[in-house]
Structures are given as C-alpha cells and as structure tokens.
Amino acid sequence: MKFLFKILKDFPAYLWSGWGAMASTLLFIAFWDLGNQVYGNLVLPSPLETFKTLYTMLQDKDVWEQIDITLYRASVGFGLSMLFGSILGLIAGFFATASMMSRPIVTILVGMPPIAWIVLAMIWFGMGDETVIFTVVVASFPIVFVGALQGTRTLDGDLKEMAESFDFPWHMKFFDVYFPHIFSYIFPAWVSGLGMAWKIVIMAELLATSDGMGAELAIARSQLDTPTALALVTIMITSLMFIEYIILEPIKREVELWRA
Amino acid sequence: MANNNQEEKLHATNHYLYYPDEENLPPYLAYGFRPIFLLLAPYLVISMILWGFVWSGFIHIPFMDNPIQWHVYEMIFGILTAGVMAFLTTGLPELFPGMVPFVGKRLKYIMILWIAGRVSFWFIDITGVYLTAILNLAMLGWLIWFAKDAVLDKLQRHASIGYTLVTLFVIESWFFSSVLGWSTTNSMDILKVALGANVVLILLAMRRVNMEAVNELMEDKEIDDTYISRPPLTNLAIFCVSLFTIVEFYYPHNSALGWIGLGTGAAILAITSDYNLKDKFILNQPFVIYFYSIYILFFIGYGLMGWDILLGEPYDINSFRHFITAGGLSIAYLMVMVTIGWIHTGRHLTSNIYTHLMVFFIILASSMRGLIPFFQEYSAQLYLWSALLWTIPFILYIKVFFKFLLSPRADGVKG
C-alpha cells in the first residue's frame, strides 16, 4: 500500500520529466517531415497528414473493433507467457539441475525466428486467433522465463541464511526477503516481454488473419495507402509508449530503486 | 588561499577576495551592477513608452525608414549589453575568486560608453550608422574582453557563456554590415539569429543564477534539500533553440520548422522538471515561480511559433515571438536585476508584493502583445497598452531598489 502511494506521489514529477522525451520525439517528427519533403507523399506522408488520417480513423467504430481484437490477442498471449514463464522460471531457478537443463531449450526458443513459428502455427492451427496467440506466447515466454530464472538464481545466499537463522515464518521469508529481489528481476522482464508481444501480434496478424490491426495494415499495404499504414503504426507506437512509460516505468523505477 | 577557496561552495553570499582601494568611491560606482541598473530601469521605461506611441501611430520617429528593424535591434543588443554587463561584473569575481571587482573610474568610463551607444542609437538619423556600430560593438567587445578569464579558464566551467558572447558579437557585426550594404543578407533575418543566440545566452546564464538563487533561498528558509539544474537538460534546450534558429534562417516557412518549434518548446519546459526536488516541495516559493515563468513563456513562444508554421499562412509568428522577447527574456533580465539588487546590496533574497507585481505585469503585457493575432480588431490598443504595462515592473524597480543601489551595502561589506 505504501509502495503504491509512493508511486502515485511521485507520478506528477515523473510525468513532468517526460518533456525532454517529448522534445526528442518532436525532433524525430521534424526529421520525418524532412523525409516527406525529400521522397514525396506516396513514399512517406507528412506527419501532419498522418495525424489527420489518424484522427478520422479514430472516429470510425470499425477501427476500434480491430484495435480491440488485437488487444485481446496480445493480452491473452502475453498473459499466458507471463503466467507460465514466471512460474516455470522461478521453479527452474530454485533447482540448479533444472536451470542447467532449461538453458539450451531457452536458446532454441529465442533463436528460432518468430516468422518461422508463424509458418508452423499456420499449419497447426489454421488462420485464426490461435495462430496469433501461439506465436505471441513462444516469442515472449523465453524473455519472462529468463528474467524469473535470473531472479531466483541470484538470490543472496547470506540473506537466505539469515532468514533461516532468524526462523522467519514462510510468508515473511517470501514477501520481505525473496520477493523484492525476484520482483526487481521479473518485472523488467515482463516489460520487455510485453513490448515483444505487442510487436509480434501485429506481425502474426498481418500474415495469418483477416482481422485485427495487422490485417488492416496488410490491406493498407495492398492499396498503397501509406497515410493509413503510418496512422496504424502511430496507434501501435503510442499505445506501447503509453503502457510502457505511463503505467509500467513508474512501477519499474520504484522496484529497481533499492538495487541502486 | 586559493586552495581554501576552491573547496567552498560558490554561493552568492561569497565575496571577492580583493577589493580595489580607490578612495572616495560613491556608492553608485562601488560595484558593476549599480550604475547599470540605475540607468537601465529608467531607460527601459522611457524607451518602451516611446515605442508604444510609435507602434500605435501617435508619434513618428524616422529610423532610416525602418523602425521595426531598429526596434528589434535595440531591444536585443542595447539591453543585452546592459544585462550582460551586470551579470559579468557581479558574477565573475564570485565564480573566479581571484578576480578583482570592476569599480570606480573604469566603471564610469564603461558606463559612458554604454550611454553613448544609446544616444547614438536614438539619433542615428543624425549621427549615422557608423558611430552607432562602433560604439555598440565596442561595448560588446569590451564585455568579451572582460569575460576572457571565463573562456581561458582551464576547467572551462563557464566558457560556454564566453563563446556565446563572441557569437553575438559576430552576429551584431553581420547586422551592421548588412545595414551598411556590405552584406546582402536581410538584416531582419540576422536579428532573428541574434535572438536565438540571446536565448541561448539566457539559458546558460539562468542555469547559474537559478542555482545560486534557489539554493540561497532554501538555505534562508531552512529547506533541507539541494536544487541542481542539470546541464544535459539545458544543453538539449540549447541544441533545439540553435536548430530552430538555423532552420528558420534558411527555411522560414518549412513545415519541419514547425515541429522543431514544438520540440524546442518542450525541451525548454523540460528544464523545469529540475524544480521537482527529491524530498521537498519548492514550487510554492515565489522566486521559484518567477524563474519558472521564464521557461513557461519561452515554451509558449516557441510552441505557438511552431504551431503557426504548421498551420501555414497567414503567419503571425512575429507576434508569438514576443512571448520570448517581451516575456521570457524580460523576466530573465528582471530576475537578474532583482536578485542582484537584493543579494549584492547585502540583503536577503526577498519576495514581496512589488516583486509579485513586477513578474505579473510582464506576463500580462507579453500575453497582450503575443496574442494580438487572436484579437486583430483591438490591435492598436493592444500595441499601446502592452507597451505601457510592460514598463510598470521597471517603474516598481526604481521605487524599490534605487535606494539600495544608491547607498552602501546593508551588511557593511565593501562593494
């Protein structure tokens, strides 16, 4: 509770410190505008035109439905990998044998390009939700798994011993000794897993489904409708930035504070 | 001795190590800032009232048929030299404790040079551009020579200010060569470049004034925290301002410039995030609010300019520019005048109804001037009234501070 209160208290100052990021984003948009002036509207529409397209798109109910579909797939996929990745990672971390064994498997999972997973998933599940969700899970599961594994592997032996010798009850041992440490590893892993999920969901949709934002992107591509394509990209990036910087980053800061 | 001094914190309460022993020094020549503030405040009041009458059409002053250009010139360079003079003669002996304060007879000669620069400016149709150019360039040149220690300092702690002054000198020379027909560049465009360099200078100077004043204030009020204005944020803002200035010079109506303008506004506003201290809340301290308002006005100015460029014609960008000049820069100069006026006359940094009103009227006047595009039908009244209201802070300054400037330091220290 105190933790939550502190995050909320620091939030305005944190939000205000985002003006620097805003400045560099705007400079980036200026650079984009320059690209438009050099290569023309067909190749790269101007930022202003893109934002205008975006504005009209957001008036359309259908677009919101597509966003909803994508959001559903990403959340289910990420939720599954968060759940299983964390649990399995924690378990693997507690047993040296398990962690040794899991290493090469994680390497295989990470090393396999997502696009190859999509092809396999399309054969296994056909064109639909399952394919997308499966791809998201395989892509972000290893990230979460490794984070959880690291968290438990790096637990300080002395602290463990201290907790043992004081004979703490199990809940105290868990919440006051193990949890802050593990959480400071696992939480950043969730954040990067989420980023991965958000990217993969679009890619999988583009190749394997007829609805969702990825599919919209595919339609925009086939019609050479660059403003719409860029507007869609803008939606994806803004939503990711919102989740990452407004929701997760303040928590992450608090979590990692004690490590510094 | 020098070693001891380096370990001390360089607060505004520290003093020079040596004070020149010149006899019969009148108080108004006892330190660099005194005569210049005594001259600057009335000068600003009188000249702005004159400009107000000129813009609203009551009087006509024949400035070589280009009053706007000369108005901009004087508001940038004429006042710049005064502000920089006060800032350097007061600040440098503190930042470099071995330096001897600049006082007495030599100070008087420099003041005469500044006055001569102003007189030659207002009588430019009679005395000619050459004289104005020589006198004003000499003044800025002297300031650079005076600041040479800062540039040559091995640690380069404050060299950026020196380099910016040299840049301004080059720009001013360029302006005069354009007026004299030696250079084909449009002189108004050069003045816009000068404004950019001026904003950079203010950002550099304010970072230092800010740190000294805010920390001094917190010490006074026993607020146990430290305010640090981080260089990377100021540098980002300086980068953005420079980029905006350069792009505006070459492509004044390019849409990319609009985005750069918005980015510049954001970068300047980012500087204020340093006021959110780790433990203590200081945003309710009047002086923090005053300093804050400088950045807010810069933000509004650059933001509106960027927005205006993105919208396309008709361009009202020069009205919005007044948020930067009549607004942000003016409060920055005023803050230098007020903080030095308190601290270096041996008093505590104090806020009262007068200082509140000073800042308030500048914000009001610059908003009236800057928002003219939205109230075109009242433009004549707004031109006049914004100019008149803008003078009130300096009238108040005369009322509050002139007695301090004309008498010895309250704490008995020399200077």
Which residues of chain A have a CB within 8 Å of the CB of B266? 19-20, 22-23, 26
Give residue A208's region: left, alpha or beta (phi > 0; psi -120 to 50). Answer: alpha
Nearest to A71 by CA among A213, A254, A226: A213
Q: Please state the pTM of the whole predicted model.
A: 0.88
- With tokens 């022993």, the residue in question is B21
Cβ-contact B301, B322 below 8 angstroms: yes
What is the distance in angstroms between the Cα of A255 and the nearest Cα belonging to chain B? Answer: 17
Backbone torsions φ then ψ of B281, nearest 5 degrees:
-100, 120
DSSP B101: P
Residue B1 identity: M
Instruction: Indicate yes or no: CB of A27 within 8 angstroms of CB of B263.
Output: yes
Instruction: Indicate yes or no: CB of B270 within 8 angstroms of CB of A24.
Output: no
What is the distance in angstroms between the Cα of B97 and the nearest Cα belonging to chain A? Answer: 35
Instruction: Indicate yes or no: CB of B255 within 8 angstroms of CB of A33.
Output: yes
What is the distance in angstroms between the Cα of A12 and the nearest Cα belonging to chain B? Answer: 9
Tell me the mean pLDDT per 10 residues along chain A, length 260. 77 88 95 94 91 92 92 94 93 86 87 89 90 93 91 79 80 78 87 90 91 91 91 91 85 71
Which residues of chain B have a CB within 8 Å of the CB of A23? 236-237, 240, 263-264, 266-267, 270
Shortest CA distance from A22: residue in chain B: B266
Nearest to A23 by CA among B246, B265, B245: B265
Q: Rounded CA gap, B248 and B393, in Å?
A: 32
Q: Rounded CA gap, B195 and B201, in Å?
A: 10
Instruction: Indicate yes or no: CB of A34 within 8 angstroms of CB of B256.
Output: yes
Cβ-contact B244, B251 below 8 angstroms: no
> Is the CB of residue A13 less than 8 Å away from at least one CB of chain B?
yes
Q: DSSP 3-state assignment of B276?
A: strand
Backbone torsions φ then ψ of B228, nearest 5 degrees:
-125, 125
Q: Rounded CA gap, A50 and A231, in Å?
A: 6
Shortest CA distance from B236: residue in chain A: A20
Shortest CA distance from A12: residue in chain B: B276
Q: Give pLDDT, residue B93.
A: 80
Q: Rounded CA gap, B107 and B36, in Å?
A: 10
- Bond before B408 cis per omega within 30 degrees: no
Q: Rounded CA gap, B128 and A69, in Å?
A: 74
Nearest to B38 by CA among B291, B340, B331: B340
> Is the CB of residue A246 less than 8 Å away from at least one CB of chain B?
no
Q: How far is CA A157 from the centre of its chain?
A: 32
Instruction: Indicate yes or no: CB of A20 within 8 angstroms of CB of B262.
Output: no
Work out the number of other CB atoms within 10 angstroms of the CB of residue A206: 18
Cβ-contact B267, B238 below 8 angstroms: no
Instruction: Indicate yes or no: CB of A37 within 8 angstroms of CB of B233.
Output: no
Cβ-contact B263, A24 below 8 angstroms: yes
Which residues of chain B have a CB within 8 Å of the CB of A29? 259, 263
Q: Rounded CA gap, A24 and B236, in Å?
A: 9
Question: Cβ contacts of residue B407 below 8 Å, gap of 6+?
Answer: B27, B345
What value of ipTM does the predicted structure carry?
0.86
Pick the residue of A11, A14, A27, A32 with the most B CBs within 10 A to test the interface with B by mutation: A27
A·B CB contacts under 8 A = 66
CA A132, A133, A134: angle at the middle one, nearest 5?
90
B407 half-sphere exposure, CB direction, 13 A CA radius: 11
Pick the residue of A6, A11, A19 with the most B CBs within 10 A to test the interface with B by mutation: A19
Q: Among B258, B260, B276, whose Cβ lies nearest the Cβ of A27?
A: B260
Question: Cβ contacts of residue B283 below 8 Å, gap of 6+?
Answer: B275, B276, B289, B292
Which residues of chain B have a CB within 8 Å of the CB of A20? 233, 236, 266-267, 270, 273
- Per-residue pLDDT in tens (0 to 9) along chain B, 415 residues: 333 443 344 444 556 667 777 777 888 888 889 999 999 999 999 999 988 888 777 887 777 678 889 999 999 999 999 999 998 888 888 777 777 788 888 899 999 999 999 999 988 888 889 999 999 999 999 999 988 877 777 777 788 888 999 999 999 999 999 999 998 899 999 999 999 999 999 999 999 888 888 888 888 888 888 888 888 999 999 999 999 999 999 999 899 999 999 999 999 999 999 988 877 888 888 999 999 999 999 999 999 999 999 998 767 899 999 999 999 999 999 999 999 999 889 888 889 999 999 999 999 999 999 999 899 888 888 888 999 999 999 999 999 999 999 998 888 777 7
Q: Rounded CA gap, B346 and B343, in Å?
A: 5
Can you list the domains of chain B with their CATH numbers?
A: 25-405 (1.20.210)
Q: DSSP 3-state assignment of B281?
A: strand
Instruction: Indicate yes or no: CB of B263 within 8 angstroms of CB of A26.
Output: yes
Pick the residue of B247, B260, B288, B292 with the most A CBs within 10 A to test the interface with A by mutation: B260
Per residue in A62-89, pLDDT tens?
999 999 999 999 999 999 999 999 999 9
What is the distance in angstroms between the Cα of B94 and the nearest Cα belonging to chain A? Answer: 31
Shortest CA distance from A49: residue in chain B: B310
Backbone torsions φ then ψ of B276, nearest 5 degrees:
-80, 95
> Is the CB of residue A33 less than 8 Å away from at least one CB of chain B?
yes
Can you list the domains of chain A with their CATH numbers?
A: 2-257 (1.10.3720.10)
Which residues of chain A have a CB within 8 Å of the CB of B273? 13, 16-17, 19-20
Which residues of chain B have a CB within 8 Å of the CB of A250? none
